[in-house]
Amino acid sequence: MSTEYHHNHYVPVWYQKRFIPTGQTDRELYYLDLKPGSFTDPRGIRHELNGLHRWGPKRCFAEKDLYTTYFGSEESTGIEQAFFGPVDQNGKKGVDYFTDFTHPSVDYDALRSMMIYLCTQKMRTPKGLGWLKDQAGTTNREEILRLVVRLRDIFSAIWMECAWQIADAEQSETKFIISDHPVTVYNRRCGPRSDWCRGNNDPDIRFQGTHTIFPLSLEKILILTNLSWVRNPYQSEINARPNPNFVRQAVFDYTAVQIHRHLTQQEVRQINFIIKSRALRYVAAAKEEWLYPDMYVSKAPHLQRATVEFVISGRRLSPGVDPSEGPAGCT
């Protein structure tokens, strides 16, 4: 059997290439393993393995036979070929459309492709597949992959009703990084030790105070915030938003998409901190120094929660909060 469909990218090559600067000749990324492990030499001395690599997109964010299914001695790559292939092909068109979104513009096909791609991307990663396994109570690979196919539109209604903001890092020397779970979810109430963030879990996108963050390219990022939170950011972050049902019809307002917000370098670092903190194991960037946003952010949890909320929402900081001290991330 051909090996063409056995090297499975859970973050597509075309998406990774969006984070390589134009004109960069080697077309590679700095790829950081957050859990590189260690080994013990013959003298009994323990050594940490090098977690930093310089690789092309074909080697990054991929596993052998992640989407291959088995029936006895027979194996099938049908899900990779027949499902993920079209999702990626159409999803690229949706990502292109929203990366360059301007008013007035209405493109239903692009929106539909974007929604299916985002939903699928959230579930197809090792972290997303682990979450599905936990929710379904099964370790059967074929059953879990069937769920990805069946639920490919599950989050669309919630996200379509969010406040959409496309922010720009053009004026920042630091650009966006990507992770092995690029549809990133953040809620300031849900720290890393909470049940909502342990293991394969993410904060529920139906919580009032949850934001969904998705880098579109090196300089553009999509931030989705529940409209009920935009209207009242002083309520409980973990209460359910109005109309929280997943599978239903929803209306998308193209005219309400917010554009032309330019982020400062510190704000980009704060968002990168969120992306890194919610990764399962790997992050990647065009420049090595961008992989370490934690070097530029405060370690004070109360400042982290305060500043990230304002960075993501675009609201002004309250008196007494120094934006230069706060990171974006949940600790």
- Using one digit for the tens of pLDDT, what is the confidence trace for 198-222? 999 999 999 999 999 999 999 999 9
Residue 326 lies in a domain: no
pLDDT at 2: 55
Out of 5-19, 57-71, 153-167, 310-324, least confident range: 310-324
Q: Are strands 62-64 and 52-55 parallel, antiparallel or unpaired?
A: unpaired
Name which of 180, 128, 134, 130 is nearest 154 in CA terms.
Answer: 128
Percentage of the chain beyond pLDDT 70 is: 89
Q: What is the number of domains present in the chain?
A: 1
Residue 97: C-alpha distances to residues 40, 279, 306 (Å) = 50, 26, 32
- Phi and psi for 267 in degrees, rounded to 5? -65, -40
Confidence of residue 71 (pLDDT cuts 50, 70, 90): confident
pTM of the full structure: 0.89
For residue 128, the SS3 value is: helix
Residue 1 above 80 pLDDT?
no
pLDDT at 330: 33
How far apart are the C-alpha atoms of 293 and 271, rounded to whole Å?
Answer: 9
CA 98 to chain centre: 16
How far apart are the C-alpha atoms of 262 and 163, rounded to whole Å?
Answer: 17
Q: Are 209 and 188 in contact (CB under 8 A)?
A: yes
Residue 214 lies in a domain: yes
Q: What mean pLDDT comes out for the span 272-286? A: 96
How far apart are the C-alpha atoms of 130 and 198, rounded to whole Å?
Answer: 12
The residue segments making up the domain with residue 80 are 7-313
Residue 23 lies in a domain: yes
Residue 318 lies in a domain: no
pLDDT in tens, 23-41: 898 999 999 999 987 777 7
Residue 299 lies in a domain: yes
Residue 51 lies in a domain: yes
pLDDT in tens, 150-180: 999 999 999 999 999 999 999 999 999 999 9
Residue 116 lies in a domain: yes
Please report, as a single letter, which amino acid is at residue 245. N
Q: What mean pLDDT comes out for the span 117-123? A: 98
pLDDT at 74: 84
pLDDT at 327: 33
**Neighbour count for residue 300 (Cβ, 10 Å):** 14
Name which of 243, 282, 268 is nearest 327 in CA terms.
Answer: 268
pLDDT in tens, 225-253: 999 999 999 999 999 999 999 989 999 99
Residue 280 lies in a domain: yes
Residues sharing a CB contact under 8 Å with residue 256, sequence separation 6 or more, in sequence order: 163, 164
Round the average pLDDT of the chain to a whole number and report it: 89
